[in-house]
Every structure is written in C-alpha cells, then in structure tokens.
Amino acid sequence: MRVTNQYIASIFAEIADLLDIAGENPFRVRAYRNAARTILSSSKNMADLVEEGFDLTTLRGIGKELSQKIIEIVQTGELSFLKRLKASSSPELETLLRIPGLGPRRVQQLHKELHINSLQDLKKALQKGDVEKLPGFGPKLIESIAKGLEEKTYEEKRYRLFEADPVAKEIIKSLKRSHRLLSIEIAGSIRRRRETVHDIDIVASCEAGSDMMDRFTTLQEVDKIIMKGPTRSSVTLKSGIQVDLRVVPKDAYGAALHHFTGSKAHNIALRKMAVKRGLKINEYGIFKADKRIAGKKEADIYKNLGLDYIEPEMRENRGEILLAGEHRLPRLIEEGEIRGDLHIHTTDSDGAGSLREMAMAAREKGYEYIAITDHTKHLTIAHGLDEKRVRKQLEVIDRLNEELEGITILKSAEVDILEDGRLDLPDTLLKELDLVVCAVHYKLKLSKKAQTRRILKAMEDPYFSILAHPTGRLIGLREPYEVDMEAVIKACTHRGCILELNAQPDRLDLTDIHCRMAKEAGVPIAISTDAHSVRDLDLMTYGIGQARRGWLEKSDVLNTKSLKELKKYLKKMRP
C-alpha cells in the first residue's frame, strides 16, 4: 500500500499539535507545520520520490530530520516518533485546540492542572466549576468554551465556493451603501478561487467617519458578532459562515487586499523575502526603516520585491514566487479565451434543455462550437441513449448544423466505461462521432488497482478522446474514487487522450494539483461545464478558476482552439 502525500502531511500536522501542547520550541512546531504544507501542495508524490532516491532535503522546509521521517513513513506506513509522542501524551488533546479560545497554552494548562484529556473531561470539569478556578479563565472565556463544545465548532466546516461566493457578493452589495466608502473587494480564499472556503474575507477603505463597521455588524444576515473593532470585525451569519471585514486607509488598501487575500504560506514567504532585503511587509504597506514605500496598489508589493505581479489563484507558495522573480510566470487562461463547451446534455438523456436550446444559448455566449454528450444506454437512470437513439440524434444534429448560423454542434456522447473497461457503444458507432467523452458512473468502489486498470483499458479504445470527471468526486458529499492519477496521466501522454476539468462547482475534478501534473506531462485539458440546462453553461467560470489555480494557460486547454484547429486536432487523434 503506497502512502499518499495527504497521509504524510497529516502525520506532521498531528506532531505539530502535540509538540505545541507539550510546550515545545514554537519554531520546531512551525517547522512541522511548514513541512506538512510543502508536502500537501507538492505535485510530486513523496512515495515516488523516495523510491527514486530523490534528495528530499532539496524541498523547501524539509531538512535531514524530516527527510528521514518521510522515508520511514513511506517504507513502513507509520512513524515511530509519532507513536512515542502519542504514548507519552493524550492524543485527544488535539481536538481541544479546535475550540475557539483554546490554544496550546490553555490546553496545556487544562491538562496539567485538571488532568483533562478529552472533550468529555472538559465538559465534566466545566459542569463541576473547576475550570473557572484556573488563573486566566474568566467568565467570557468559559462561556466561549462552553459554546464551542455545545456547537461542535471543533468540527471545522468548509463551504463550497459556489455556496460562499454569492453570499459574499450580496454582503458587498449591502456594504456599498456605506457612507464615505472608497473601495471594497472580496479577498481570502474566495478571491483565490479555492474549491472550498472556511470564511468570507472582505477588505475595504473608507474616509474617516464612515458607518461601515456598524452597518456590517448589523446586517440582517448576522447571527452574532465575534469581535468588533475600528478597523477589523468578525461576525457569523445565520447560515453559520464567518465573515471578516477589514477597513484600512486608502493608502494601505492594496497592501491590505494583498494581506487578506493570502494564502498565509504565500504571504509568509514574501515577508521573509522582504526581511532579507531590509524591508518589512504588513497589511499597511511595504516599509523601509519605518518609512512606507508603497501600499496603495496591490501590484506595488510585488514590484518593490523585484517580482512580477502574481495572480491571486497562484498565491499558494507552490513555486510562483520563484517564477515571478525570473519573469517566467505563466499567463493564466481567461474565461474569454474559451471557444466552446465539450460536455453538454440535452432532454434526450437527463438534460433540461433541448438540443436547439443548448446550441442557441452557447451561441449567445459567443461560443463557436459545442459537443452534445448525452449519456449512453448503461446509465438507464439518466435515460441513456442506445445505438438507435444515438443515430437518430446524429441526424437531428446534421439538420440543425445546416440550419443554425454561428454555432457548430459536434457529435459526441458521454459514453459509460463498463466495469471491464469496455465502452458502452461499439466502435462502429463511435467512429461516426467527432469526439468521444468517456466516464465512470458505477462501481466507484473498485480497488485503486482495478479502477485504474478499468480506465486504462478504456483508453485503449482508438476512439476514446476525453476522460470526463476523472475522479468522480462530489465535494463534501462523495469522496473521489480511488485511481492512480499519475498512471492515468502517463497513459494520456502515450495514447493521446485528454483530461476533463469538470466545471460543475461541486465536482471540479481535476484538482488544482492534478491540473499541474497534467500540464507538466503535456496532457491537454478540456474545461467543460457538463451542462444539464442552459443556466449551467455559466458554470464555466468555476472551471476557469480551478484551471488558473492549476497554472493552466490558453495553450494547455483544448477548448480554446478555434473550430478549425479543434477539428484538425481531433482528426489527428483518430486511427
């Protein structure tokens, strides 16, 4: 069993928590957290690197000690250091860290003074009134802890981008009515277009005497105020999501926007870089010996460090800073560069719009082409098409193509990949399609080996063009099915297949890291909405966000090609 990067990172994160509670050197703790982050955001698999004998100490934040530990985890599946650590402390203490108001110092205090080892212990101690006897635990803090326990805030909730994004936009709309407002923008992970976010960050600048903070904390959707200050406030909404608002003077707006866009790892890396050059960055600007040299515009932060401007989606400290210094940043794809949509359903299977309606809507969006990809017969629940119905649909498409100006309908289907790796339609029919989109829709729980073999087998079909939603996940609802993505990408390069980035915001597979892996391997990506209605065509924006997070450029994406180029490309794929 090969260990994943996530697994290794989770071990290091756990060690960091335990050392933190034990009162260890905070920088040692930080070293484990940094390493966990590095591993999690690496596009390379640690297990592979170990096998290849790669020198892990060349990775940022990983030295001799942690390199050894990674090797041990890869080779044995566990880490003796963590075992020892767990044996000498109480592993459940980590959970206490997630209660608001409790950090390592206070958890340590609870443990030492009251022998509290778990949430249960804490609950009992609270009821008995033991906790309030501890120095530093006043009534407000006790209340916060009790509430945290009751509301289970220790189970961190993340919201999917498409849930948080519209809420954020609504709040901005309300706050724009504030007096003396100069600028306001969404920052944080929404601006970086992360697939899930844990809060909404907003940055604004106002002239003196603005009523914005009061307006913010009294918004109708606000459930409770976590804190309120002149420049910074936090609230939770009735829906449970937390919103932070930061208000700064206009000369600091760019710096504040940058600071609150993050990511934390990106900001830390930049600040370290600044320190080396005798500069200092904070949310008010970039400073040389206490003198502000910039801060009004976000781009000035980068400029003063000798860096090119880095798009928010790239700010994860995954190598973008280095490239910005060498003026080699990719020029990220933009929504306007998309020329068509290659995954669209109609009323013939489980879509809500007719063929004609979908085509007209796509033309309205300025597209040159769409591919109609209704389900095939195995997917009975979606009224999948058998050969006869596919042939009938092809005739309709021919007629529509003759009739409609300004849009071309490509013939396709979302063909089921059967359990044994065969496709759900015969080659004699697939041959007549312009492209063939293939996907796994059942038997999602096969072993990684079997699932990978199934997909690779399907790719051997000479008419296989695009692998749709390559991991089958539904964010927060269904885990991705197990598949060896590296093997799939490798197979794509050999067989000339394309991977789909599914723009449905609850799917968004590929992940950002998968996108980078594909890009590095030279595998083209199709960004497709998998539209089941006319409105779904607008989901493209989420796919673009994910693609940009994966560093994709126009040239990496299949459906930025003109119809002519696309047809030529598809023809070349065929035997």
Residues that bind DNA (CB under 7 A): 25, 27-28, 30-32, 34-35, 57, 59-67, 97, 99-107, 135-142, 144, 188, 199, 201, 227-234, 242, 244, 260, 264, 267-268, 271-272, 274-276, 280-284
Minimum distance from CB of 217 to DNA (Å)?
A: 10
**Sign of the CA dihedral running 121, 123, 128, 133:** positive
Minimum distance from CB of 34 to DNA (Å)?
A: 7
Residues ≥6 apart with Cβ < 8 Å to 419: 442, 443, 446, 454
Listed in sequence order, the DSSP H helices in 129-207 are 139-150, 161-175, 188-191
Nearer to DNA, 235 or 483 (CB): 235
Nearer to DNA, 27 or 331 (CB): 27
Minimum distance from CB of 375 to DNA (Å)?
A: 43
Which of 515, 381, 376 is closest to 458 using CA atoms? 376
Nearer to DNA, 138 or 366 (CB): 138
Minimum distance from CB of 513 to DNA (Å)?
A: 21
CA distances (Å), 565 to each of 46, 351, 410, 560, in order? 38, 28, 14, 9
Minimum distance from CB of 51 to DNA (Å)?
A: 20
Phi-psi region of 53 (alpha: psi -120 to 50; beta: other; left: phi over 0): left
The enclosing H or E element of 182 equals: strand 181-186
| Both structure tokens of 328 | 């080699």
Minimum distance from CB of 447 to DNA (Å)?
A: 34
Secondary structure of residue 317 in the 3-state scheme: coil
| Both structure tokens of 286 | 């970039």
CA distances (Å), 326 to each of 311, 320, 517, in order? 15, 10, 22
The enclosing H or E element of 76 equals: helix 64-76
Nearer to DNA, 31 or 440 (CB): 31
Nearer to DNA, 58 or 428 (CB): 58
Nearer to DNA, 27 or 388 (CB): 27
Nearer to DNA, 265 or 547 (CB): 265
Nearer to DNA, 273 or 396 (CB): 273
Phi-psi region of 207 (alpha: psi -120 to 50; beta: other; left: phi over 0): beta
Minimum distance from CB of 471 to DNA (Å)?
A: 29
**238 φ, ψ (degrees, to nearest 5):** -60, -30
Phi-psi region of 289 (alpha: psi -120 to 50; beta: other; left: phi over 0): left
Minimum distance from CB of 302 to DNA (Å)?
A: 16
Nearer to DNA, 270 or 429 (CB): 270
Minimum distance from CB of 93 to DNA (Å)?
A: 12
Which of 21, 22, 10 is closest to 70 using CA atoms? 10
Which of 489, 483, 426 is closest to 454 using CA atoms? 483
